[in-house]
Amino acid sequence: MVKVRKAVIPAAGLGTRFLPATKAMAKEMLPIVDKPTIQFIVEEAIASGIEDILIVTGKSKRSIEDHFDSNIELEEHLRQQGKNDLLDLIKQTANLNLYFVRQPYPKGLGHAVLQAKAFVGNEPFVVMLGDDIMEDEVPLTKQLIDVYDQTHASNIAVMEVPHEETSKYGIIAPERQLDDGVYNVERFVEKPKPEEAPSNLAIIGRYLLTPEIFTILENQQPGAGNEIQLTDAIDTLNKTQRVFAKRFDGKRYDVGSKIGFMEMSIEYGLKHPQISQDLKELIKDLGHRLENEE
């Protein structure tokens, strides 16, 4: 049986929602407490059994490569100071099978994924978007791989969103629900207006795709927002081979939005051994203060 071994993480986006912080810095390096968001994605890939990861970068993204490299001076400094915990922490991200390629122009997600063609070759692979961080007992990428192992077909993670928000997402028109939250899909539509959306099941940034997607992407015309859309290519793929949707029932943080970023920072902080106690106190005090203000 073919094993899903490769992941592609598009990280070429300009991060305009976090300006001015992202003027000179990669948005993927913004930390949730002390860990860059992209590290959560890489950890999900590894926890799902992925062996090789390609990160598609662009301008102002050098810090991502540096983060996943060794830093010999810093390692030496920490060793001399006897800070072994920190030494272990920074070495964790230095020995992974990571590859980098640049997307020369910001022409859309479909175009970013197309840059992975040579890396992927003729294997099924996953695409993981950095703005969506997921939490569940089984990592979502592993859930998609499990569906692939049963169906040998592409499958895309979806989740219910409020109907008025459909224009922020790729939306599916489900045909019928099979077992375990897996759907046959009639259509995939990128960012439909609420009045045109065929459902409120939204694509949430984890895709398992067969390599036939690349031939389609090579000929894909620009769609919504005048960008080459992955969703449009998936809709075409679904006409010649099945593309299933897998419903995600866990917790999703949209760390590409300011409020989603804050939400995850607080939740993660509440679990963080160094700050959870202090943060709890802080939130309680803040709660009292806000109540008194009302």
Query: 35 in helix, strand or coil?
Result: strand
User: Taking CB positions, which residue lies at the least distance from ligand G1P?
Assistant: 170
Q: Shortest gap between Cβ of 62 and ligand G1P (angstroms)?
A: 22
* Shortest Å distance, C-beta 197 to ligand G1P: 12
- What's the maximum distance between 2 C-alpha atoms anywhere in the chain? 63
Contacting positions for ligand G1P (CB under 6 A): 109, 129, 131-132, 169-170, 190, 202-205, 230-231
Residue 291 CB, shortest distance to ligand G1P, in Å, is 35
The alpha carbon dihedral of 170, 175, 176, 182 has a sign of negative
- The residue among 159 and 279 lying less far from ligand G1P, judged by its C-beta, is 159
Q: Which residues contact 73 (CB under 8 A, 6 or more apart)?
A: none
Residue 58, CA distances (Å) to 25, 65, 155, 206 in order: 11, 11, 27, 21
78 vs 113, beta carbon nearer ligand G1P: 113
Of residues 170 and 269, the one with the C-beta less far from ligand G1P: 170
Q: Could you tell me which of 196, 175, 194 has the C-alpha nearest to residue 245?
A: 175
The token duo for 180 is 């375990």
Q: What Rg value do the Cα atoms of the chain yield, rounded? A: 20
Structural contact between residues 231 and 167, judged by C-beta atoms closer than 8 angstroms: no
Between residues 124 and 170, which has the closer beta carbon with respect to ligand G1P? 170
Q: Which residues pair with residue 249 across a beta bridge?
A: none
Could you tell me the smallest distance in angstroms from the CB atom of residue 104 to ligand G1P?
18
Complex with ligand G1P: residue 107 or 272, whichever CB lies closer: 107
Q: How far apart are CA 198 and CA 210, in angstroms?
A: 25
CA 294 – CA 90 distance, rounded (Å): 45
Residue among 44 and 190 whose Cβ is closer to ligand G1P: 190
> Least distance in Å: CB of 147 to ligand G1P?
18
Residue 72 C-beta: closest distance to ligand G1P, Å? 36
